[in-house]
Amino acid sequence: MVDTGFPRSDAQDDFQRMRRRAVLSRLAAWLRREPDDVSEILPFDEVVAALGRTGERKLGLCVIDLATIVGSVDRVGDFDRWFRPRSAVSRQRWERLDLARRRGERIPPIDVYRVGELHFVRDGHHRVSVAHALGLRTIDAFVTEVTTQVDATGIGRRGDLITKDLRRVFLDRVPLPGPALCTILVTTAWSYAVLSETVEAWGFRLMQQEGRYLDRRTVAQRWYSEEFRPVVRMLEQAGLVGDRTEAEAYLDLACRRYQLMRTHRWDDAVVERLRTDA
Q: pLDDT, tens digit, for every residue of 183-222?
A: 999 988 899 999 999 999 999 999 999 999 999 999 999 9
Q: Quick one: 27 and 133 in the same domain? A: yes
Residue 247 is part of which domain span?
Answer: 174-277
On whether residue 157 sits in a domain, the answer given is no
Same domain, 208 and 256: yes
**Paired strand residues for 60:** 143
Question: Do 41 and 141 belong together in one domain?
Answer: yes
- Work out the widest C-alpha separation in the chain, in whole angstroms: 83
Of 204, 144, 152, nearest to 173 (Cα)? Answer: 204
Residues in the chain: 278
Question: What angle do helix axes 160-173 and 44-51 make, rounded to 10 degrees?
Answer: 30
Would residue 1 count as lying in a domain? no
43 and 141 share one domain: yes
What's the angle, vertex CA 20, arms to CA 77 and CA 47, rounded to 5? 30
What is the pLDDT, as a whole number, of residue 229?
Answer: 95
Distances (CA, A) of 172 to 50, 57, 109, 220, 251: 12, 23, 38, 10, 19
Counting the structural domains of the chain, the total is 2
Residue range 151-189, pLDDT digits in tens? 898 888 888 898 899 999 999 999 998 889 889 999 888
Which has the closest alpha carbon to 38: 155, 186, 162, 129?
155
Residue 225 lies in a domain: yes
What's the distance, CA 10 to chain centroid?
37
Task: Classify residue 132: in a domain, yes or no.
Answer: yes
Specify if 134 maps to a domain: yes
Per-residue confidence at 127, pLDDT binned at 50, 70, 90? very high
Q: Are residues 140 and 15 in the same domain?
A: yes
- Same domain for 144 and 254, yes or no, is no
End-to-end CA distance of the chain: 59
Evaluate whether 87 touches 93 at the Cβ level (below 8 Å).
Answer: no
120 and 250: one domain? Answer: no
Least confident of 40-54, 94-108, 125-139, 197-211: 94-108
Supply the CATH number for residue 113's domain. 3.90.1530.10
124, pLDDT greater than 60: yes
Cα(4)–Cα(72) distance, rounded to whole angstroms?
33
- Does residue 194 belong to any structural domain of this protein? yes
